[in-house]
Structure 1
Amino acid sequence: MKNQSYSDWAEQVKAVELPAALMGRMEERVDAFAEELEAKGLEPPFNEQVLSSLPLVFTCSDFVYQYAQRFTGEFCDLAKADLRSVSAEAQMRSALDQFCRGVEDKDGLMAALRRFRNREMVRIAWRDLAGWDDLFRTLHSLSALARACIDKAQAVLSDWMTPKWGVPTGPEGQKVGLVVMGMGKLGAQELNFSSDIDLIFSYKHTGTTQGGEKSVTNLEYFTKLCKDLIKVIGAKTDLGQVFRVDMRLRPDGANGPMVMPFSAMEQYYEFQGREWERYAWIKARPVAGDIKAGMDLLRILKPFLYRKYLDYTVFEALREMKRMISLEVKRKGLEHDIKIGPGGIREIEFVGQVMQLLRGGVLPVLQEPGIMKILDLLGENKLLPLDVCEDLKEGYILLRKTENRIQEFADRQEHKIPRTQTEQMCLSLSMGYFAWEDFEHVLARHRDKVQFHFEELLADPEEKQPSVGEDQALLWVWHQTVPVEQAVEMLALAGFDDPEQAEKMVSDLKKSPQGRSLSEHARLQLDRLIPSVLAEAGKADQPEVALKRVLTLVEAVIRRTAYLSLLVENPEVLERLVKLCDSSPLIASLVTRYPALLDELMDPGILYTPLRRWELDRELHLRLRGLDPEDEEEFLEQLRMFKQVNVLRVIAADVTGALPLMRVSDHLTEIAECILTKSLDMAWNHVVKKHGEPTCQLNSGQCQRGFSVVAYGKLGGIELSYGSDLDMVFLHAGITGEMTKSSNPLYNGAFFARLGQRVIHILGAHTPSGVCYETDMRLRPSGGGGLLVSHVDAFQDYQRNQARTWEHQALVRARPVAGDVAMASRFFKIRREVLCTFRNDTTLKAEVVKMRNLMKKELEKKEKGLFDIKQGPGGIVDIEFLVQYLVLSRAHDTPSLTDWTDNMRLLEAVTAAQLMPETMATSLKEAYLALRGHVHALAREDKPAMVPLEEVEEVRQKVMAAWRHFFGK
């Protein structure tokens, strides 16, 4: 020793302040350890970090103290080096290899694994109790230890089996490995200190073994391997266990086979998988063996786990699980259990899991095993209030720390708050509190918060609804237990103007083939839903209209009980649905076609507040972030749902008067721009992966992508409406004659043609969620007969030398909306140059009038007493043509006329340039807004743009007067 006696060393260590009740315990243990060191002639640890933490750790952990007493030499070696280091998983595996070196049989392997496990558990416990590692480092280290031990054991056992049994092979002779799936906390890398490990074993291909003394089926081989693995890991010896192994989560539980091929796993979960098994698989992860094959298994089982719709049936399943757990807690007296007791860890995990199963299929970013990450995502995506997520996260950290400290006391799988004074004092001290009462108060406060949020999430909606007495009459109407005449009277009292019609609609649904052939579960949901629908519809401005639209939706989803459950579980959603359907057939139609949109009615703060462009980009990024890059079908689905969701928000804000007309168009345009940008990114990645990148040149210098999407028409003019298609032109700057750099090259022109085709496919492909947008490419150079994607130089030449007047008119409303920034700049220069070209005014007028007359002849809808708002004389197109004429006529001496592409700002530019009287310009702006307002309102009603002539006659006359002013009769 360094000139110091063992007793001096002990006195130095004991010079710390602990609660009085624990001082004797600490001093006794330090003295006993010093005596053990002296008896064995070992030098005690002198590192300052170790010395300062030793009293706390020895006091609060019987497990660590007893290890130090029994394996004093190994502990001293640990204290000199590894105790103070964070051990990465690779280092851990390397150290385990050293422990297992020279092992020749199962007994030797079992001993080596246990020696290593105990040493690592002491290291992890010490670092946790001393505060050197935070909670998540501790959980990760425990999970890494389990993975390393399982993987080493299965690899050694497999090697020992090879000489006799050979190697498992698949149908094409490929080697087949064991897949060890870690479930629960092991899969989520959240293993607690004395946890058991939940495992499921599988393998990819059926077949037989090859190359051994005896050939057996893969099933026989892996069954033997798994039994040996469970024994090596889980059997109790004088050195304890590595980990207790729990196999009850496998298909058919304790009665199921030990191991199954992927095909059998897929069949089981497709036809027999139960709701609780979906919860179990949320945290699943391959932890040993063939990791790549394990990831393949997760992809195979993904449709079982995550539904492609909002699955509100999970609430009923979770309520049932909660009832069973509550009974167990009461029966076994587990109120003080911080795992499954009230306000415990399980409740926080259930909150995360129910939201994952509910939304994970439509928001892939939620397909994440870690609960803390999930709570962050739920807050980020506004699926739970931020303060709720923060409460749950704080509670989780406290509870998981407490769980570890309880288990580090004696390395027992214990979750109850200790009842003896010594253990209580040790726990509170390990958690940083000198007084048990202080810690108990903090723990109770957090558990109360967790329980409150959990109960709020799972509250039965029937508790929020009117009493049975208030709703009883409408329930009788639905069940047809009263005569028709009485049912009609009841509906009249509920607020229906035409109760006979309402009764017939309800009766028709009841008698419909869909209504008669429901499952028991669906029937129960419908019985709870329809009386509420009748009650809400009776309050609407147009009760029968609202009822018809909502019942049409109900009939469309009647066999998809998840949507019925959503409306039953959330009465406020049903209330909003009825109001919106009453206001807008477009909303009713949209939600009926895409019922997943019902979820958007959950939060009125989001529903009536359309996102701005940067928020749209962020939301789309989050929606697509968790997707498999190879899964194009899912990408297209998510893109379409993103569009439908955000268009719904715009309509909802529109019909409630929260948005003026111009802002509606702004939002619809920004949604389209966001989708175009993401579609181009996806198309680019797809074509580049197949053919490599093209070389592009612009203004004598290289540019990156060299591709631009130029918007024309309503998209270019920032005037999109509901159902508008996208008028576009594609331009590229690929170097002519050069090829992409790839083993499968294309000429640059062909590359960009495929890129353009891909963008159109992404936008227009039909999926269950419809199409994103119909596209119109006829405004490209030479129209339908021209190249789909034009070189920017060819486009410039065409616009200068070949384009007709109407094409220059179209150019007035054109602007780049996606693609290369340098290409956008080049387009704007071309556009300004072309629009600022001097034109003969007489010729220009004649060509504009000729094209306008041709359009009227071909496109104007004529019906007696009605006016075609767009194409009729004095309509929208007259205003647009007039503005375009003024730009083309005068931009050569007033270039500022080319600054904008939207009609309202163009009218302002025309006024500023004094190209028309200010009163006329004001009249035209008012007329344009009024006419667009009519078109917009009719689009919301899903009606053609036709109105009674007298409604717009005054406005129309002002437009015609302006036309005559410039063009004559």
Structure 2
Amino acid sequence: MSLPLLVELPPSLVSLVERAEQSLQTALSEHEALAERVAAWSQERRDAWRQVSALSDFVAEQAQRDPQMFVALAESGELERSLASGELRQQLEAQLAECADEDALGRCLRRFRNRQQVRIIWRDFSRQAALGETCRDLSDLADACIDLAYHWLYPRHCTQFGTPVGRRSGQPQHMVILGMGKLGAHELNLSSDIDLIFGYPEGGETEGVKRSLDNQEFFIRLGQRLIKALDAITVDGFVFRTDMRLRPYGSSGALVFSFNALEQYYQDQGRDWERYAMIKARVVGGDQAAGAELLEMLRPFVYRRYLDFSAIEALRAMKLLIQQEVRRKGMSENIKLGAGGIREIEFIAQAFQLIHGGRDLSLQQRPLLKVLATLEGQGYLPPAVVTEMKEGYEFLRYTEHALQGIGDRQTQMLPAEPQDQARVAAIMGFADWASFHERLMYWRGRIEWHFQQVIADPDEDESDASEASVGAEWLPLWQGALDDEAAALQLQEAGFAEPGTACRRLDDLRNGPQVRAMQRLGRERLDAFVPRLLAQTVEHEKPDLVLERVLPLVEKVARRSAYLVLLSENPGALERLITLCAASPWIAEQIARYPLLLDELLNEGRLYSPPLAPELAAELRERLVRIPEEDLEQQMEALRHFKLAHSLRVAASEIAGTLPLMKVSDYLTWLAEAILDQVLALAWQHTVQRHGRPQRADGSLCDPDFIIVGYGKVGGLEFGHGSDLDLVFIHDGDPQAETDGAKPIDGAQFFTRLGQRIIHLLTTQTTSGALYEVDMRLRPSGAAGLLVSSLGAFQRYQENEAWTWEHQALVRARVLVGCSRLAGEFARVRAEVLGRQRDTEALRVEVSEMRAKMRDNLGNKNTAAGTAPNAFEATSSFDLKQDAGGIVDIEFMVQYAALAWSWQHPQLLEFTDNIRILEGLERVGLMGAEDAALLREVYKIYRSAAHRQALQKQPGVVPGDQFQDERRAVMRLWRELGLELNNGA
């Protein structure tokens, strides 16, 4: 939202202006020179003073108590401008340099704080500073006071007690000060306390004094001095109320812990609310480098590597406790803790962070508004929802500042006194309290509604709070409370065709080793989930099939019960899981092998709408850019998760009918290209780091002068589920010249190692499997040839040594990723090789013989690859790919035509996919429109059937009575092209 408007002060506040004016004049009466300077103020500043002094008792009182400070602040110009980055810290640093003792330190900090507080409230209430600036200035003020006070105290503490030294490292130790909550997120409010946690790197003792201290004792005493410097109330007030209760063990724990002790505590005893608090932890003072190490140590505690929907349970429980406290203390008018308050927006954002942040690094950030923007950008929440939450949050935060800026009091309670109500309304830009309160309640209502959508228990039903949870009727059966007959009867009446088998499956799960080994919390989650699963299963037309395919997944994730929570918390995701598993055992197996794919079921819109090629590439780049360059393991996992997730989305879209066959292949091909692009970048970066960059023949450096050529299905844009990558690597560097790195090697070695690195990244098995199986046998000279060829060597081989079948393969070859210049050169070489005039009769013979060999080796043995007399009988079967009249026959006809006639019609080489080459043959008149259309349609039919078989985990073989007309038509056209079956059929 924009800044609240300034409104004319209501009559009820005019008396406050007069009182503030009188108080200031009284204070100035003792300072004639100051009074003259104030008299010279501009009308704009005087109007702002009247506005702010009427709205803030604190500003008016500070002006009266310390007129010199107030006038100097006004004349500095800082009331009318934003402070530059670091300016506030520089001012305090200069003042602390003159402090001789701790009493002077305390006075200096408090007076500086009061000056800055006046400046910040003035700019906020006079509408010169937006919410972001106010929060940033307050947080920068806290950072400066904490860190500079610490660094002032540390050397004096060392003089008294010695310098703490690490027992292991032998290095001097500094304390690390973590700011939590709003301070950690740079969102401090106008009168906030600060939540801190103190730590130090390692144990040891102090050195340089007669009586050494244990490091922990040294830092405990130092921490106590720092808290006193900040928190103690003196005649000058306080700096910041300091709360240390978020440390391990709370108020009963030691004030300071070593890093090891902190890590051990959070690993063994850390509670859910501590994860919630640690999201916003930031190093605000002390040793910044050591603090970064500490936060990295604690990251696994905060962000789990898997989807963690158990966080919702924890947040729900925390919210319930807060609601009980609000009711007990009568705090419904509290805009932070009450219904629809600030805390509910924070809970929404942090629920997503805790659930998804372990895998989606973009969510590992502190400021709430940035988190909300990420939730929108990454598709977790709709834009309209995020816009409402942002506007509601800003309205509440402005209101919070209005409440606190009046008297510099830490409060979020709406005032009951009419005068303060009028002040708040005026600060917020409303003519009266009623209109302000109406708008406030609107925003609280919207926030509460959004909160319920995210955090509410899916079993809750506001219209009937006593309603039993979903699936309660199945709980006795699952827990074994029914005898076999009663259990079978319940399943039969619910629609199971084989209730006895279903009972056995449930018994096997309940009594299996995975479930018996579960901890109590996991077993409770399983007992809550299975009845819910059964309730949704019986809604499906094939409940037996659903149970058969989903229970292996349940068994697989039983020990990681957060996945069960995910499905319990998201009934829509469970419904989609049941639908997809019932439709495809391939999908069921993929999700059982890689449960992290359950994440994809959460967003129905995203699940059934895979992104286009540019979006795919951008999304993958964005994921990888957040991972440290040196973290190869995490990069490989990110690549694999990306591939698994998008492969599932394509399969789901295919099953749902939102993607036709050709688009399925397009998406899977785009996915492979996006992955190969990043794999090449990672491999290039790694190899260059080790050996430097290779050189071109002219002595310039390659960048990268390397391409990955795709053959077969990926080259022909016909990629399927589980397809291999047929690849060839080509470079254009000087194989003799050395690289320019610290460990130079010649160009040939460099590109070979680059190729090996690419294959390693693609094929290494991690916990998320391999990316792709890679086949390099189509490179020059096959398995006996070099892994990577220069373009010149590739051209010479294709022109002088390649077999006809290798030229057939080249018809479907295209550059997938790499250097655009070299890609253009490859296209030229390909066109020259394929476009030369050939002996058509010899070509027919070679193509026919190669096809006959393939049928003999790979076709259906029982039907002589579909050419035996009984091949078309219903009792036989048909191999969609290899049998006569199948996919490969169509591919060979297309390849034959391209090789035979592209010298006359170069446009036949423009595309690498069969469909568009067939269209080209039709355009140039080499194939009749009816025959070309028939081949295109049959090719799509075959491939669609093959896709369906793959999703059913079935081989590409169908009953022999299918596609008989299509097969005969293909075989007819095969003969009409002059090709022979070579088996007499």
Please state which band the TM-score falls in when normalised by the shorter chain.
over 0.9
Q: Does 1:53 align with 2:64?
A: no
CA–CA separation in structure 1 for the residues paired with 2:424 and 2:470 = 53
CA–CA separation in structure 2 for the residues paired with 1:597 and 1:400 = 38
Q: Does 1:674 align with 2:679?
A: no
CA–CA separation in structure 2 for the residues paired with 1:108 and 1:748 = 68
CA–CA separation in structure 1 for the residues paired with 2:304 and 2:177 = 25
For the aligned residue pairs, the C-alpha RMSD in angstroms reads: 2.2
CA–CA separation in structure 2 for the residues paired with 1:750 and 1:156 = 58
Identity %: 44
Counterparts of 1:379-418 in structure 2, within 5 Å, are 379-418=376-415
Q: Does 1:163 align with 2:163?
A: no
Q: 1:49 to 1:736 in 2, by over 3 A?
A: farther
SS at match of 1:239: coil
Q: Does 1:19 align with 2:10?
A: yes
SS at match of 1:132: coil
CA deviations over 1:72-120 (Å, ceiling 9, x no partner)? 1111111011322322342112111221122122111111111111111
Counterpart of 1:715?
714
Q: 1:172 to 1:513 in 2, by over 3 A?
A: closer
Q: Assess if the C-alpha contact under 8 Å between 1:164 and 1:214 holds in 2.
A: no
Q: Assess if the C-alpha contact under 8 Å between 1:883 and 1:906 holds in 2.
A: yes
Identify which of 298, 316, 324 aligns with 1:327.
324
Worse-superposed segment, 218-227 or 312-321: 218-227
Q: Please report how far the alpha carbon of residue 446 of structure 1 lies from its aligned counterpart in structure 2 after TM superposition.
A: 0.6
Counterpart of 1:121?
117
Counterpart of 2:913?
902
CA–CA separation in structure 1 for the residues paired with 2:472 and 2:437 = 48
Q: Assess if the C-alpha contact under 8 Å between 1:309 and 1:361 holds in 2.
A: yes
CA–CA separation in structure 1 for the residues paired with 2:565 and 2:550 = 15
The AA in structure 2 aligned to 1:54 is W
Worse-superposed segment, 650-659 or 959-968: 959-968
CA–CA separation in structure 2 for the residues paired with 1:458 and 1:271 = 27
Counterpart of 2:579?
579
Unaligned runs of 5+ in 2: 1-5, 864-875
Q: Does 1:34 align with 2:29?
A: no
CA deviations over 1:188-210 (Å, ceiling 9, x no partner)? 11111111111111122333334
Q: Does 1:726 align with 2:725?
A: yes
Q: 1:16 to 1:499 in 2, by over 3 A?
A: closer
Q: Assess if the C-alpha contact under 8 Å between 1:89 and 1:145 holds in 2.
A: no
Identify which of 934, 937, 948 aligns with 2:959.
948
Q: Assess if the C-alpha contact under 8 Å between 1:666 and 1:718 holds in 2.
A: yes
Counterpart of 2:226?
229
CA–CA separation in structure 2 for the residues paired with 1:736 and 1:472 = 71
Q: 1:696 to 1:93 in 2, by over 3 A?
A: farther
CA–CA separation in structure 2 for the residues paired with 1:767 and 1:92 = 50
CA–CA separation in structure 1 for the residues paired with 2:428 and 2:513 = 63
Q: Assess if the C-alpha contact under 8 Å between 2:509 and 2:555 holds in 1.
A: yes
Counterpart of 1:962?
973
The AA in structure 1 aligned to 2:778 is L
SS at match of 1:779: coil
Q: Please report how far the alpha carbon of residue 911 of structure 1 lies from its aligned counterpart in structure 2 after TM superposition.
A: 2.0
Counterpart of 1:8?
none
Counterpart of 1:3?
none
Counterpart of 1:218?
215
Counterpart of 2:371?
374
CA–CA separation in structure 2 for the residues paired with 1:504 and 1:474 = 15
Q: Assess if the C-alpha contact under 8 Å between 2:607 and 2:652 holds in 1.
A: yes
Q: 1:215 to 1:88 in 2, by over 3 A?
A: farther
Counterparts of 1:177-326 in structure 2, within 5 Å, are 177-212=174-209, 214-326=211-323
SS at match of 1:763: helix
Q: Assess if the C-alpha contact under 8 Å between 1:183 and 1:197 holds in 2.
A: yes
Counterpart of 1:64?
59
CA–CA separation in structure 2 for the residues paired with 1:928 and 1:746 = 48
Q: 1:646 to 1:94 in 2, by over 3 A?
A: same
CA–CA separation in structure 2 for the residues paired with 1:436 and 1:249 = 37
Q: Please report how far the alpha carbon of residue 17 of structure 1 lies from its aligned counterpart in structure 2 after TM superposition.
A: 4.5
CA–CA separation in structure 1 for the residues paired with 2:387 and 2:630 = 35
The AA in structure 1 aligned to 2:534 is L
The AA in structure 1 aligned to 2:88 is M
Counterpart of 2:3?
none
SS at match of 1:568: helix
Counterparts of 1:918-957 in structure 2, within 5 Å, are 918-957=929-968
Counterpart of 2:799?
800
Q: Please report how far the alpha carbon of residue 959 of structure 1 lies from its aligned counterpart in structure 2 after TM superposition.
A: 2.0
The AA in structure 2 aligned to 1:37 is L
CA–CA separation in structure 1 for the residues paired with 2:53 and 2:272 = 44
CA–CA separation in structure 2 for the residues paired with 1:539 and 1:406 = 53
Worse-superposed segment, 304-313 or 46-55: 46-55
SS at match of 2:218: helix
The AA in structure 2 aligned to 1:274 is R
CA deviations over 1:741-762 (Å, ceiling 9, x no partner)? 3334343333333322222222
Q: Assess if the C-alpha contact under 8 Å between 1:339 and 1:346 holds in 2.
A: yes
Q: Number of paired residues? A: 954
CA–CA separation in structure 2 for the residues paired with 1:866 and 1:454 = 57
Q: Please report how far the alpha carbon of residue 696 of structure 1 lies from its aligned counterpart in structure 2 after TM superposition.
A: 4.2
CA–CA separation in structure 2 for the residues paired with 1:220 and 1:852 = 83
Q: Assess if the C-alpha contact under 8 Å between 1:365 and 1:624 holds in 2.
A: no
SS at match of 1:967: coil
Q: Please report how far the alpha carbon of residue 622 of structure 1 lies from its aligned counterpart in structure 2 after TM superposition.
A: 4.0
Counterpart of 1:640?
640
Counterparts of 1:760-779 in structure 2, within 5 Å, are 760-779=759-778
CA–CA separation in structure 1 for the residues paired with 2:421 and 2:685 = 59
Q: Assess if the C-alpha contact under 8 Å between 1:643 and 1:671 holds in 2.
A: yes
TM-score, with length taken from structure 2: 0.93
The AA in structure 2 aligned to 1:588 is A
Q: Please report how far the alpha carbon of residue 861 of structure 1 lies from its aligned counterpart in structure 2 after TM superposition.
A: 4.8
Q: Assess if the C-alpha contact under 8 Å between 1:366 and 1:626 holds in 2.
A: no
Counterpart of 1:101?
97
Q: Please report how far the alpha carbon of residue 788 of structure 1 lies from its aligned counterpart in structure 2 after TM superposition.
A: 2.1
Q: Please report how far the alpha carbon of residue 135 of structure 1 lies from its aligned counterpart in structure 2 after TM superposition.
A: 0.3
Q: Assess if the C-alpha contact under 8 Å between 1:309 and 1:596 holds in 2.
A: yes
Counterparts of 1:782-861 in structure 2, within 5 Å, are 782-861=781-860
Unaligned runs of 5+ in 1: 1-14
Q: 1:544 to 1:749 in 2, by over 3 A?
A: same
Q: 1:640 to 1:235 in 2, by over 3 A?
A: same
Q: Assess if the C-alpha contact under 8 Å between 2:557 and 2:595 holds in 1.
A: yes
Q: Please report how far the alpha carbon of residue 467 of structure 1 lies from its aligned counterpart in structure 2 after TM superposition.
A: 5.0
CA–CA separation in structure 2 for the residues paired with 1:470 and 1:649 = 28
Counterpart of 2:649?
649
Counterpart of 1:6?
none
CA deviations over 1:869-901 (Å, ceiling 9, x no partner)? 212222211211221111111111110010000
Q: Please report how far the alpha carbon of residue 413 of structure 1 lies from its aligned counterpart in structure 2 after TM superposition.
A: 0.9
The AA in structure 2 aligned to 1:761 is H
SS at match of 1:208: strand
Counterpart of 2:427?
430
The AA in structure 2 aligned to 1:742 is G
